Homo-oligomer: A and B are copies of this chain.
Amino acid sequence: MSTDALPALPVLKATDFASDQDVRWCPGCGDYSILAQMKKMLPSLGIPPHKIVFVSGIGCSSRFPYYMSTYGVHSIHGRAPAVATGVKVANPELSVWVITGDGDALSIGGNHLLHAIRRNLDMNIVLFNNQIYGLTKGQYSPTSPLGKVTKSTPFGSVDNPLSPLSVAIGAEATFVARSIDVHIKHLGDVLHRAAEHRGTSFVEVYQNCNIFNDKAFEYLTDRDTKADATLEVEHGKPMIFGKNRDKGIRLNGITPEVVELGKGISEDDLLFHDEQLEEPTLAYLLSRMRHPEFPVPIGVLRSVERPIFEERLHAQIADAVKKRGEGDLNELFQAGETWVVK
């Protein structure tokens, strides 16, 4: 993403990123908070709205672009990563954001997500995970827990859920993070980190759908439980959590375990977070940690630099132009064996 800040640019505010459209999510929906944090974060990038494109699929979450004053495409279900790929390759100067839901990204759109991530275009993907299909009024999604009773599973779902972060890491992701709709400061920071990452950043945001799947993440937001249920990972820091910050994660062979600090166990015995490990095994391990056996990691799990798709593609073009000169149509037409009729 190019950040060629214009010198004369006025300082932008969150409201500069708001469109004139009425926001049409259900009152109380977690999407509002994510929208607010996005609008609050964007001015910090120094990119004017007209250099930003939001691309989405279909779903409640995917209405997002309508509410931004940037360029936007509310495309078709599941295809946002592919549309965004076209936008970014066509104009690498643009800051490109994909907004998607758990159904949009992981059900119908799973393949495009996979391929966008592995190609590592310099764009940002934010997945609103409410573990339900909101817009179609409450069917289970690929992230809904087993046994979930929904409109389409009155006897409980029989599908093993996917972990979005594991999928992303399995697909060669260079930046993987998680946050929560109501942890507004954390969310803003994570979005900022995602924006600054060179390459595809993939952010999962746990989002409450108060109509069809209310309180799915209550354990992470409830005042009483959240500290023990959340592991906020930070680069270079030991993995400590708990209300009293007295618990930690230790590695036993290749398997993580929860330990209590004190009682002969010190911080140095704990796993230290390293976003930048060459191999993504640590990030993968973190992505496996689920409530209630483990606290749920939030923050940046992985952030490494790798070659960027559109840069390499345009480098080949630039190189060809340099070597062969700007393509000339006459030359193109005349290529190969020709003959003259008089």
Which A residues contact B (CB, under 8 angstroms)?
A: 107-111, 114-115, 118-120, 142, 146, 155-156, 158-163, 166-172, 251, 253-256, 277-282, 284-285, 288, 306-307, 309, 312-313, 316, 319-320
- Note all chain B residues with C-beta closer than 8 A to A114: 110-111, 114, 162, 167
Contact partner of A312 (CB less than 8 A), chosen from B118, B142, B158, B280, is: B158
- Note all chain B residues with C-beta closer than 8 A to A171: 162, 166-167, 170
Task: Tell me how many chains of this kind the complex includes.
Answer: 2
- Note all chain B residues with C-beta closer than 8 A to A309: 158-160
Look across to chain B and name the residue whose beta carbon is closest to the beta carbon of A166: B170
- Cβ A120 vs Cβ B285 within 8 A: no
Residue with the greatest number of chain B CB neighbours at <10 A, chosen from A108, A158, A162, A255: A158
- Cβ B166 vs Cβ A162 within 8 A: no
Complex A-B, nearest 4 residue pairs according to Cβ-Cβ distance, in ascending order:
A170-B170, A111-B111, A158-B312, A110-B111
- Cβ A255 vs Cβ B279 within 8 A: yes
- Note all chain B residues with C-beta closer than 8 A to A320: 155
Q: A106 to chain B: closest CB distance in Å?
A: 8
A163 to B170, CA, bound (A): 8
- Cβ A162 vs Cβ B167 within 8 A: no
- Cβ B284 vs Cβ A281 within 8 A: yes
Contact partner of A119 (CB less than 8 A), chosen from B120, B156, B159, B163, is: B159
Look across to chain B and name the residue whose beta carbon is closest to the beta carbon of A167: B170
- Cβ A115 vs Cβ B110 within 8 A: yes
A-B contact pairs, 13 of them (CB 8 A): A155-B319, A158-B312, A160-B309, A162-B172, A166-B170, A166-B172, A251-B254, A254-B254, A254-B282, A255-B277, A255-B278, A255-B279, A281-B285
Q: A160-B307, A170-B284 are in contact. List 11 more A-B contacts (CB 8 A).
A: A108-B111, A114-B114, A114-B167, A158-B313, A159-B309, A169-B170, A254-B285, A255-B277, A256-B279, A279-B285, A281-B281
A280 to B156, CA, bound (A): 26
Residue with the greatest number of chain B CB neighbours at <10 A, chosen from A111, A163, A255: A111
- Cβ B118 vs Cβ A160 within 8 A: yes
Q: A154 to chain B: closest CB distance in Å?
A: 10
Q: A117 to chain B: closest CB distance in Å?
A: 9
Q: A279 to chain B: closest CB distance in Å?
A: 5
Q: A133 to chain B: closest CB distance in Å?
A: 15
Q: A72 to chain B: closest CB distance in Å?
A: 25
- Note all chain B residues with C-beta closer than 8 A to A319: 155
A250 to B28, CA, bound (A): 51
A146 to B316, CA, bound (A): 13
A11 to B15, CA, bound (A): 77
Look across to chain B and name the residue whose beta carbon is closest to the beta carbon of A147: B312
- Note all chain B residues with C-beta closer than 8 A to A120: 160
A255 to B281, CA, bound (A): 8
A259 to B158, CA, bound (A): 44
- Note all chain B residues with C-beta closer than 8 A to A306: 160
- Note all chain B residues with C-beta closer than 8 A to A158: 307, 309, 312-313, 316
- Note all chain B residues with C-beta closer than 8 A to A119: 159-160
Look across to chain B and name the residue whose beta carbon is closest to the beta carbon of A146: B307
A160 to B114, CA, bound (A): 11
A161 to B307, CA, bound (A): 12
